[in-house]
Amino acid sequence: MEKLLDKFLRYVSVETTSDENSESQPSTAKQLNLLKMLRDELQAMGIEATLDEYGYVMATIPSNVDRDIPAVGFIAHVDTSPDASGADIKPQIIKNYDGGDIILNKEKDIALRVAEFPEMQQYKGQTMITTDGTTLLGADDKAGVAEIMYAAQYMMEHPDFKHGEIKIGFTPDEEIGRGVVKFDVKKFGAKYAYTMDGGEIGELEYENFNAAAAKIHIQGSNIHPGYGKDKMVNSMLIAMELNEMLPVEQRPRFTQGYEGFFHLTEINGTVEETTMNYIIRDHDRTKFEEKKALITSVAEFLNKKYGDVVKLELKHQYYNMRQEVEPHFFIVERAIKAMEMANIKPKVQPIRGGTDGANLSFMGLPCPNIFAGGHNFHGKLEFVPLESMMKASEVILNIITLFQAEG
């Protein structure tokens, strides 16, 4: 496990936060620092690997059997979420975890408390990797990156391990919904693939949200409050009114399973102007379209009420991959079998989010999502058990074995 731990710690030490306000590809140049490192490491193992102008690392491990086996790929993203700082990450490593609370930052009274996260207790006796309470950890998805790199190294060091052609892909900008916008599926060359981007051990997903983003600009009119009667238009109050017109029960706090939501991710305002950002999610395509129609009608109503002050921009992000994966359901079944071979109980469930695999599936590369092992992604309470990462690498190798055995 030390080899895997070393890889993970080196990868999280590289700042790779993506930026949704950037128009470049990748959205931040610092992501290229890790992508170059990964390309170089793959080449040092003797694996053919390239890094293109858009920030995609693609690598191939040739087949070492004389039968025709479909090429299978494994993909992870290098960027971390803009929701929390990804700079100067200082992981804490708790060996032989005792099953109790973990103090992350005594000064700021930040801790992982079992009362809040009872799932922590299932990792008693294992090696826990946490933050220091000031940044995220980056297990989403550098755990996935490390797991793939470990499996690749294992194959290169064990030529007796039989396999078909293996494809490896590392992408930027997944966290801002642009991870594979310029990904060349034909060039990648896999017939089937898996993203290593899920949560806790055992997770397996082939359904995800349909997703859209809404950017809203509200133009007010700032008049001295002493003389504002019938003249002042307070954009912040209109923003509050808009938010209250969306269903309260469809906020993330009140949803689970297949239930979708409207999530206000950012708001900045003055009397003169206010901007709001929402993400809109639903597994059901019809309900998803209804949500987009609702926020559009709310904007139209407020424009009639206040006089064309609300500008709404709706942007599609991705669709539910289920319809593209189900016709190739054996790839899900192989992932289940690969977990069972590793003595893992599979947890097949819908993703309450999205992965590169969603868009890849619609681009002709069926791509379910497998656990990377982490918890509490996108925040300072993120953690990952090292043993879960090790099991994820084992699942990768088991899937490869099953493709080799079953074609």
Catalytic residue list: 79, 174
Beta bridge partners of 281: 211, 261
